[in-house]
Structure 1
Amino acid sequence: MNLPSSLKKTAETNADKTAYIFMDQLVTYKELDTAVSKFADGLKKLGLKKGDHMALLLGNSPQFIIALYGAMRAGVTTIPVNPIYTPEEIRYILDNGDVKAVVALDLFVPYVDKIDALLPKVEHYIICETDPAKVGKYAHPKLKSFSQILAESSPFVEEVPLSEEDTAVILYTSGTTGKPKGAMLTHKNLYSNASDIGSYLKMSADDRVITALPMFHVFCLSVAVNAPLISGATLLILPKFSPKEVFRVAKQYKATIFAGVPTMYNYLFQYEGGDPKDFATLRLCISGGASMPVALLKNFEKKFNVLISEGYGLSEASPVTCFNPLDRPRKPGSIGANIVHVENKVVDELGNEVPVGEVGELVVRGPNVMKGYYKMPEETAAAIRNGWLHTGDMARMDEDGYFYIVDRKKDMVIVGGFNVYPREVEEVLYDHPDVVEAAAVGIPDPNQGEVVKVYVVSKNKNLTEQALLDYCKERLAKYKVPKEIEFLDELPKNTTGKILRRSLKEQLQKQSARP
């Protein structure tokens, strides 16, 4: 079984069930499956063959799902790309990914002439029009209309034989150093993880899942798109995250599941118009993408009376490896235990499993682990060793098999020979009633090698650095107490809302380089 076959099966057995609601328009599984088949047929008519690569430069929309599942049905490998990347970042991924076709919004049209000269391998730019009056009216020979492709194609497309080891999607990881790497995820990787997520979280056709995370990100792709579709659930698609829209959609369509990153939960919690009654039908909230501060988790659950199940994943694992279980005690601060068919463990530098409670690197194996990085055999060999994917995250496991992310291996701060994990400092600050967000980084120090600096967003303009330092001194060992605290109006984040410590470090480096 694979994702497009699963969609077809649901369309045959439950044709009139609502697959998604977008801009208050309802579309059935039968209608979605028909559009997917038409797009697959359209790709064949354009000359794309099994194994060719197609990029998606789209936000959350029905076209994203139709193009993704249509490409898989045609045997074409999809490369989702963040549409707000810079032209150079996009050019690199399209070139490195050997892309033959690009699906993009019409906002991309003005850039085609400039970027096309640099991308000779791209044969087609398939444009999703925001204005129906502009459909198909393009002078450039490589420009095609998404709407016209669907209108002129047949839903009775011949099935392309798919192997479970065929590459379905390539996800380019942002990476902390160097150029992005393309994680090759097979049909088996994606289907197994979506199926296991759906089973673990008890998703069913009765669920209505708010899809507000960006679809081009693997967290949304597997947890808020693929898993619900496998389960026959309904997607409540938001073009972008908006607290106001989340509350409206949850109330109007009686949402049962919400998936988000900690920053989203923080915005929802802080939103003045957020009425707990609007979340009355939610049975579950899912958090991932970054560690959720325990104080935020407890405050959110108390205010909205809904359980948050925190999990863990990474692009190279399709992505989920852990979730807090629904049938056993949930442990705040934990990423949970192994999901079915996936195994995690904590190891030392030599790859040996460390004792319970000790910190080491989290490694994972299972049917969800990528087959490698595209055109990067050395990086693949470094990441997957003896069948285990090395995550680069420092973690510990308790006696019940629950895992706790301590921090990124690269983010650890070494103060006078002592290890300080930024998250433990941030957790203390998040407990302060005036702190909205916090991010800790290491800065050079002539005496101790490194010390901790913290960036804070506060809702109290009168809060002082000294007051926060005194607060930390009461709750942290001396070497963990920040040396500096800087107040900001907001912290830098990526498109999923994950706080970017790397940007803060780069900002520090630029400041220190000034004469």
Structure 2
Amino acid sequence: MNVVAKLGETAKSKPDRTAYIFGEKKETYGELQQKIDCFAGGLYELGVEKGDHVALLLGNTPHFVISFFGALKAGAVVIPINPSYTPTEIGYMLTNGDAKVIVADGRLLPLYEKMHELLPKVEHVVFCETEGQLHEPENLQIKAKLKSFTNLMKAVSRVSPELNEEDTAAILYTSGTTGKPKGAMLTHKNLFSNANDTAGYLTMNEADLVVAALPMFHVFCLTVCMNAPLMNGAAILIIPKFSPSAVFKLVKKHKATIFAGVPTMYNYLYQHEAADENGFASVRLCISGGAAMPVALLKNFEEKFNVLVLEGYGLSEASPVTCFNPFSTGRKPGSIGTNILNVKNKVVNELGEELPAGQVGELIVKGPNVMKGYYKMPEETAHTIKDGWLYTGDLAKRDEDGYFYIVDRKKDMIIVGGYNVYPREVEEVLYRHPEVAEAVVIGVPDPNTGEAVQCYIVPKTKTLTEEEIAMHCRQHLAKYKRPSSIIFLDEIPKNSTGKILRRALKDILANQS
């Protein structure tokens, strides 16, 4: 079974059920399936064969849903790319990913005109008409490659190639926080197993309306907010771009039942002026992932909106979910929960030996959701996957009950005078201060201790002082864990999925010095 076949079964048995809501438009499963079939036929007419690579430079729109499933049905490998990346980043992923076809928002045509000479392997560019008609490019070579999404959809549905579970279905590029982004190859088995197990765990059903406010090109939204609900007859509420006011308005209007986001999104929702206790009245479950959620924020959010927030854990290389807190009873705030069905997590030392409860080591993962490897990077693959285990690079510990806790990224750990300092521990303390809106901690060079702790804070009020923060830290942290310097910012730099960019903070520091 694969996500394409499962969606086809849902469309056949429930053709009149709503598949998605976008703006004022609702589309049924039957209508969605027909468009997927036509898109697959259109790719066939363009000469796309099984195994060819189709890149999606699209935001949260029905175009993404249709293109993703249509390309998979045609037997292609899908490469979702953040359309707001720089030309250099996009060019690298298109070139490294050997894209044959690009499907893009029409507003990106000027970008393609500037970089088309650097993309000789791209044979066709399908532009989605989002704002009026596309302008006609003067370059005849470019013009010959351009195709209209609307015209492509006029194609006749054709018999699809057989999809094997070990065939690569998608290549998802990691955020590239260290070096060049790596393309994680996810198979049809990877995508199906993780979406199926996630949907089962969250008891997604026909009555659910899942909010897709996370970017669809990111694996979190792709699996949890798109594949999982559409495979189980639920509907998705597509929000083009996250904003607290839009989320509150649309959740209330359509009575959404499941919301998924990263901690920064929850922080924005909690602090927004439009927030009230009835804002999430219809929501039965909130899901948090992408980064560790401060316990104080989790508890405050739940109290304010009277809704359950479940933390989980995942990464692109694992399709992505590996852990979740129990849905009914036994949740432990601050933990990422326990193994999901069919997936095993464990904490190991430098030799790969499993550590006892309470000890910190690297989290490794094994299951049907683990990628087949990095595209064209055999050495990186061998370094990351050993004996079937995926080495995540995250530091974690396990308690006696089998709950896992992310301590920090292995590369983010700060060593102060020989002592290990985990940024998350310090950040948790900072978030407990009532005047702290956001906080992040990094390590900086220190001539005496090797490294020192530096913290960046977005205050709720302009009256907050460094001394108040220092006093707060003295009450709750050992001396070597306390920040040696405190910097106030108006905003913490983040990427498009809301993940904090620690590297950007180091750039700020370098520019100030």
Tell me the distance in 2 between the aligned counterparts of 1:509 and 1:368. 40
Give the root-mean-square deviation of aligned CA atoms.
Answer: 1.2
Three-state SS of the structure 1 residue aligned to 2:350 is: coil
Partner of 1:147: 150
Relative to structure 2, which stretch is displaced further, 130-139 or 423-432? Answer: 130-139
Alignment of 1:447-462 (within 5 A): 447-462=448-463
Residue 190 of structure 2 aligns with an amino acid whose one-letter code is: N
Alignment of 1:114-129 (within 5 A): 114-129=114-129
Cα deviation for residue 136 of structure 1 reads 8.8
CA contact (8 A) 1:136 1:145 kept: no
Partner of 2:62: 62
Cα deviation for residue 131 of structure 1 reads 2.9
Cα deviation for residue 415 of structure 1 reads 0.5
Alignment of 1:78-157 (within 5 A): 78-134=78-134, 140-150=143-153, 152-154=154-156, 156-157=157-158
Relative to structure 2, which stretch is displaced further, 140-149 or 295-304? Answer: 140-149
Three-state SS of the structure 2 residue aligned to 1:427 is: helix
CA contact (8 A) 1:203 1:228 kept: yes
Cα deviation for residue 134 of structure 1 reads 4.2
Superposed CA deviations along residues 239-263 of structure 1, whole A, max 9, x for unmatched, are 0101111111111111100000000
Partner of 1:428: 429
Tell me the distance in 1 between the aligned counterparts of 2:63 and 2:136. 16
CA contact (8 A) 2:10 2:29 kept: yes
Cα deviation for residue 161 of structure 1 reads 0.4
Three-state SS of the structure 2 residue aligned to 1:141 is: helix
CA contact (8 A) 1:136 1:144 kept: no
Cα deviation for residue 470 of structure 1 reads 0.7
1:349 aligns with 2:339: no
Tell me the distance in 1 between the aligned counterparts of 2:270 and 2:393. 31
Tell me the distance in 2 between the aligned counterparts of 1:23 and 1:378. 45
Q: Closer, same or farther in 2 for the Cα pair 1:503/1:22, shift >3 Å?
A: same
Superposed CA deviations along residues 58-77 of structure 1, whole A, max 9, x for unmatched, are 10000001000000000000
Tell me the distance in 1 between the aligned counterparts of 2:317 and 2:511. 32
Superposed CA deviations along residues 377-400 of structure 1, whole A, max 9, x for unmatched, are 000000001110000000000111
Partner of 2:52: 52
Cα deviation for residue 370 of structure 1 reads 0.2
Tell me the distance in 2 between the aligned counterparts of 1:137 and 1:4. 35
Partner of 1:393: 394
CA contact (8 A) 2:39 2:71 kept: yes
Q: TM-score when scaled to structure 1? A: 0.97
Residue 147 of structure 1 aligns with an amino acid whose one-letter code is: T
Three-state SS of the structure 2 residue aligned to 1:474 is: helix
Relative to structure 2, which stretch is displaced further, 294-303 or 267-276? Answer: 267-276
CA contact (8 A) 2:106 2:134 kept: no
Three-state SS of the structure 1 residue aligned to 2:178 is: coil
Alignment of 1:325-404 (within 5 A): 325-404=326-405
1:28 aligns with 2:28: yes
Structure 2: which 5+ residue stretches go unaligned? none
Cα deviation for residue 133 of structure 1 reads 4.1
Cα deviation for residue 210 of structure 1 reads 0.6
State the number of aligned residues. 510
Cα deviation for residue 508 of structure 1 reads 2.5
Superposed CA deviations along residues 211-266 of structure 1, whole A, max 9, x for unmatched, are 00000000000011111111110100000101111111111111100000000000
CA contact (8 A) 1:129 1:135 kept: no
Tell me the distance in 2 between the aligned counterparts of 1:328 and 1:466. 41
Tell me the distance in 1 between the aligned counterparts of 2:32 and 2:276. 33
1:409 aligns with 2:417: no
Tell me the distance in 2 between the aligned counterparts of 1:36 and 1:132. 23
Residue 102 of structure 2 aligns with an amino acid whose one-letter code is: V
Tell me the distance in 2 between the aligned counterparts of 1:423 and 1:137. 50
Three-state SS of the structure 1 residue aligned to 2:43 is: helix
Percent identity over the alignment is 63
Residue 148 of structure 2 aligns with an amino acid whose one-letter code is: S
Structure 1: which 5+ residue stretches go unaligned? none
Tell me the distance in 1 between the aligned counterparts of 2:178 and 2:369. 25
Cα deviation for residue 135 of structure 1 reads 9.2
Partner of 2:297: 296
